[in-house]
Amino acid sequence: MKTRSPLPDGGFSLLELMVVLAVMGVVASLSVALLDRAQRQPLETAREQLRRDLAEAGDQAVQRQRLIGWQPREAGYRFLSWHPGEGGHWQPLASRWLPERAWPDGLTVTRRESAPASSDTPWVVWWPDGENIGATLVLHHAGQRLELTVGDAR
């Protein structure tokens, strides 16, 4: 005659349950880290592109011996050139080195310092001698933010 063991044949031991919970915890923490990275990637990519474009603008101001400005727009940004005739004014810069760019969907930019009163005034300006009027730009996307300081931010 067979004797019955005190434990039922079906079910899991405490050790098995603890191993499963530990594995689930590791998977959950990795997924949160990957999700955060996926949200930051468009922001980091946009900041790097902007950093390269701003450095090129400084180089172009010196090479072309002209005032060049950077201006954010609702969907992106553009570069401007100062034209001194008739009281002077800023015009969009037609340059293959500094094209107008679009932001990734949902990305916005603010300026840590107060923004110029006029929407026609650039936020950053480079002089032909290499000097610039800088700013600290803050890029926002999906609840994340990154800063980029340009030149002499005041």
Residue partners of 152: CB distance under 8 A and separation at least 6: 131, 132, 133, 134
Contact 110, 36 (CB under 8 A): no
Residue 121 covered by a domain: yes
Give pLDDT tens digits for 46-100. 999 999 999 999 999 999 999 999 999 988 999 999 998 878 899 999 888 999 9
Q: What is the structure's pLDDT at 98? A: 93
pLDDT band at residue 137 using 50, 70 and 90 as cut-offs: very high
Task: Give the count of domains, the chain.
Answer: 1
DSSP for residue 95: -
Q: What is the mean pLDDT of residues 133-150?
A: 91
Pairing of strands 68-73, 101-102: unpaired
Q: What is the structure's pLDDT at 4? A: 61
Residue 13 covered by a domain: no
Give pLDDT tens digits for 9-51. 677 788 888 888 888 888 877 777 666 555 558 899 999 999 9
Residue 59 covered by a domain: yes
Residue 9 covered by a domain: no
Residue 140 covered by a domain: yes
Residue 67 covered by a domain: yes
Residue 3 CA, chain-centre distance (Å), reads 70
| Range(s) of the domain holding residue 95 | 43-150
pLDDT band at residue 8 using 50, 70 and 90 as cut-offs: low
Residue 127 covered by a domain: yes
**CATH value at residue 53:** 3.55.40.10
